[in-house]
Structure 1
Amino acid sequence: MQYRINPKNGDEISVLAFGCMRFKRDEKETEQQIIKAIEMGVNYFDTAYIYPGSEATLGRILSKGYRDKVKIATKLPPYLVKKKEDFDKIFHTQLERLKTDYIDYYLIHMLPNLDVWQRMISLGIEEWIEEKKAKGLIRNIGFSYHGGQEEFVKIVDAYPWEFCMLQYNYYDEFNQASKNGLLYAADKGLPIMIMEPLRGGKLVNLPKEALQVFDESEEKHSPAEWSFRWLWNHPQILTVLSGMNSQEMLQANVASACLAQADIITDKEKELYKRVKDVLNRSFLVPCTGCAYCIPCPHGVDIPMCFTCYNETAVTRKISARFNYIVRTAGHNSSKCVGCGLCEKHCPQSIAIRKELKAVTASLESFPYKPMAAFMNRFMKH
């Protein structure tokens, strides 16, 4: 196992982290996997308050003599915080579930925009964090993020964070927070944890044409290895989460992690990644690369994020894509487009953005978008 040093506190963190969002129903099997992962050098385990049964399962397993061998990361869901007392209510529940008296890496879960963070501030979260850190109950404070680049930068600048977690992979290099966001956070000294390295499995189950591109390389790797190698090539990345639900997957990912190095991807390999992305783009509804040349929109539309969510409808359930759309584009959705056309002048892909935004609106803002959005907005803000 390779390790990287957290520049904020000197922690040695395994480059491969265990994502605990979806444990198997058989807790004995899950226990075997977690213990095996620890024995193989994995020392960072990521869970969350809202992952069903995850915190309690992880707590029971680690309480059998493994707690001091690992770093636990878990998350506070801001949409469940309605009053100041909810901070302690949620946090103490998490400590009980995890059978621990401190959290190594605590995240504000899925901050969608600066407005939600400011609401948390109005409820006293800054003082609450200071109190918990002073008592040693929280060792490091950070946030996870799924939105666009502009809001990401605002959130990074809004508080003296000690780390952050974002979705990043070779396909999403220019989507969501993007490479620019990653570099911005790194320049601010933030350790960066990566989620969705395989884009929910899409980068494992590649089209035949994409597999043929990777086969041109002299070095042979599985699709998952290609994805992890690309991420570990970034020296700014501290660790990469993987939801490993089989011993075979664990073994394969650890083997890749043992070879993890920064700055080893060759120019020829970079060209292969680019060609694979081109193949994947052709499988999507809109060939948007997420370069963000089309923004800022004078009317507030987050164009790249709208297209990202729209493209998800081709590979996932509509309800999931609509939920992501509501959360990620809150206040910046496609129907805000007035058809001015300014964005199209800057699009290097020559996308008919106005036409495609209408398609996004028709697909993702049809019923039951409005009641879902109203419910989510109330849930997030109050």
Structure 2
Amino acid sequence: MLYREMGKTGDKVSILGFGCMRFQEINGRIDGQQTERQLLQAIDSGVNYFDTAYVYHGGKSESFLGEVFSKGIRNSVKIATKLPTYLVQSRRGMDEVLETQLKRLKTDRIDYYLLHMLTDFASWEKMKRLGILDFLQKAKLDGKIIYTGFSFHGDRENFKLIVDDYDWDMCQIQYNYLDEYYQAGTEGLKYAASKGLGVVVMEPLRGGRLVGRIPMEVEKIWSRAEIQRTPAEWALRWVWDHPEVTMLLSGMNEEAHISENIRIAGEAYPNSLPKEELAVVNRVKEVYQNLLKVGCTGCRYCMPCPSGVDIPNCLGIYNDKHLFQTKRTKIHYFLMTSGLVGGVPTYASRCIGCGKCEKVCPQHIEIRRHLKDVARTMEYPAMKQLTGLIHWGIKGYDLVKKRKNSFD
């Protein structure tokens, strides 16, 4: 495992951080045995930074980490969690959230405490009016917070204003080869590093969109490269090639992925990709930019939808249709949104246009407009009628079964 310094803090952190937003689940609950095994696998391999938040897994992510880390390994790891700026409405509320997090994490301190999802300078100003400066100062004096930072989802000019307005220790930005100039981007990355901030990168694989199923045009480019790597390795190495990046976070939830990422994290030095390999990545980037319709990363901050739409699923399948140019995506869309799998329909046309999702989307996607496109493109005329008939049939079958059991 390679390590880099977290900016001016001097902390040596693993260049691979463990993102704790996408733990494996069983029936809506964290798969405890598998997830603990994966966390310990990462720690044994040198990962020493774990990123969670107040809202991840409905608050269970922090609690689960607390259970695992309290078994004699707390002092060997760095914990990063976040103050939910979108929920806190008072100075007192900040204290209450922090105390809750300390209890969940079973610790007396949080190594890196971030303001979650600042989107512009106005969102930072709002937090100042609520008393964030006093809160951070007091929490640091009390030893409950060691270092401060913020996660950001806005444009680079607002990012710079926030960087300059407080003595931050680190920041967290979205960055990958598709988002080189998106949000804070390369310019923001270099600016923060020049100010002495550690920079943690989220979404290095764009929510998994850069791996897994690969468009044929992209597959051809990767396969013709002189050096053969998996799509994940190309993407991770591209991020780590930037010396200004302190670490990247990976939402690892499969042992094979953890092993692969750890292997790469032991080899990925900054400025190690030659121009020929960077040219390969740029060709792939051009293909994706031409094919991708919606910039959704599947983070699920937009959920739950008041109307029951599974927004990330709808947008993801819509993207797949354009990425892979296959008619089977309509069948897949019907199976995944009709309610045959989960019991409740979640298709795009259920959207009533309330706009709640757009207010919390880190990517600032025009979700309502895209859902209309999804409905128009993916939902054939008889879909709702067929869905209704299927659910009517299922209810009828259940009723007959109950009556039969009552006679037995």
TM-score over 0.5 for the alignment?
yes
Taking CA–CA contacts closer than 8 Å with sequence separation of 6 or more, which of the two structures ends up with the larger relative contact order? 1
Secondary structure, in 3 states, of the residue corresponding to 1:79?
coil
| DSSP-derived class of the 1:21 partner | coil
Task: Give the secondary-structure state (helix, strand or coil) at the position aligned to 2:218.
Answer: helix
Whichever residue aligns with residue 8 of structure 1, its letter is: K
Q: Which residue number in structure 1 is paired with residue 359 of structure 2? A: 326
Structure 1: how far apart are the matches of 2:187 and 2:224?
A: 29
Would you say 1:280 and 2:288 are equivalent positions? Answer: yes
Match of 2:42 in 1: 37
- Displacement after TM superposition at 1:216 (Å): 2.1
CA contact under 8 A between 2:118 and 2:124: conserved in structure 1? yes
How high is the sequence identity, in percent, across the aligned residues? Answer: 45
Contact 2:5 2:198 in 1 (8 A): no
Q: Calculate the TM-score normalised by the size of structure 1.
A: 0.77
Please name the residue that 1:181 is paired with: 188
Please give the alpha-carbon distance, in whole angstroms, between the structure 2 residues aligned to 1:286 and 1:245: 25
Match of 1:122 among 119, 122, 129: 129
What are the residue-to-residue correspondences of 1:211-290 with 2, within 5 Å?
Answer: 211-285=219-293
Instruction: Give 3-state SS (helix, strand or coil) of 1:115's partner.
Output: helix
8 A contact 2:7–2:169 mirrored in 1: no
Cα distance per residue 1:181-226 (max 9 Å; x no partner): 1111111111100000100111103212112112222211100000
- Three-state SS of the structure 2 residue aligned to 1:193 is strand
> What SS does the aligned partner of 1:80 have?
coil
Q: Which runs of 5+ in 1 are unaligned?
A: 288-310, 335-359, 367-382
Equivalent residue for 1:63, pick from 62, 70, 81: 70
**Amino acid of the structure 2 residue aligned with 1:117:** W
Corresponding residue for residue 341 of structure 2: none
Match of 2:404 in 1: none
Q: Which residue of 2 aligns with 1:15?
A: 15
* 1:1-382 correspondence runs (5 A): 1-24=1-24, 25-52=30-57, 53-204=60-211, 205-285=213-293, 314-315=318-319, 325-327=358-360, 362-363=369-370
Cα shift at 1:271? 1.1
CA distance in 2, matches of 1:270, 1:187: 24
Paired with 2:372 and 2:256, the residues of 1 have a C-alpha distance of: 41
Whole-Å separation in 2 of the counterparts to 1:329 and 1:254: 28
* Larger CA deviation: 98-107 vs 4-13: 4-13
| Change beyond 3 A, Cα 1:281–1:213 | same
Larger-gyration structure (1/2): 2
For the residues of structure 1 that align with 2:235 and 2:204, how far apart are their CA atoms? 7
Contact residue 22 and residue 54 of structure 1 kept, 8 A = no
User: How many Å apart are 1:315 and its aligned residue?
Assistant: 2.8
Code of the aligned partner of 2:277: E
Q: Give SS of 2:8's match.
A: coil
Matched to 1:38, the amino acid is: I
Structure 1 residues 145 and 61: alpha-carbon distance in aligned structure 2, compared to 1, 3 A threshold = same
Counterpart code for 1:96: K
CA RMSD of aligned residues (A): 2.5
Give the partner amino acid of 1:232: W
